[in-house]
Amino acid sequence: MDSPYSHKVWQEGELSKIIPGGLPFPMLSDAGGRIGKLYMVYDEEGGVDLRGRFLIDPDGVVQAMEILAPAVGRNVAEMIRQIKACQHVRATGEATPVGWEPGKKTLKPSTAQAGQVCQIWSPDMAF
């Protein structure tokens, strides 16, 4: 909902100090909350969009989303992990279990695995 001007000030005054060169993509200004309403993050009473992130694949399908209270920090490493997982799934058709990182074990979806996943993968493999 912030104006393009406030995004510019934030980019130049803060983000460029955290991320060398600032964000490598443009920020969206959602004056009036039109996009926030579509993604169900618009707070009518406060007149603001809640902080959210959406991973949208090349076909326009939302693959992941996260909505947090404004005071709660986000985990950029987790977002990047999810992007890599979405890319892997799209490229291979394999499933990425919880905590999956590139190079870790994946699952090949099949009806033969029904009830057998615990024999192939366990939570201690996640971290």
What's the mean pLDDT when you consider all of the chain?
88
CATH class for domain 51-127? alpha beta
Q: What would the pLDDT profile of 97-122 be if each residue is shown by its tens digit?
A: 888 999 998 988 888 777 777 777 78
The amino acid that residue 43 corresponds to is: D
Kindly list the domain boundaries of the chain, sorted by start residue: 1-49, 51-127
Phi-psi region of 33 (alpha: psi -120 to 50; beta: other; left: phi over 0): left
Indicate whether 65 pLDDT > 90: yes
pTM: 0.75
pLDDT exceeding 70 applies to what percent of the chain? 99
Bridge partners for 52 per DSSP = 67
Q: Which residue type occupies 39?
A: Y
Residue 76: its pLDDT value, please? 84
Across 99-119, b (16+ Cβ under 10 Å) vs e yields ebeeeeebeeeeeeeeeeeee
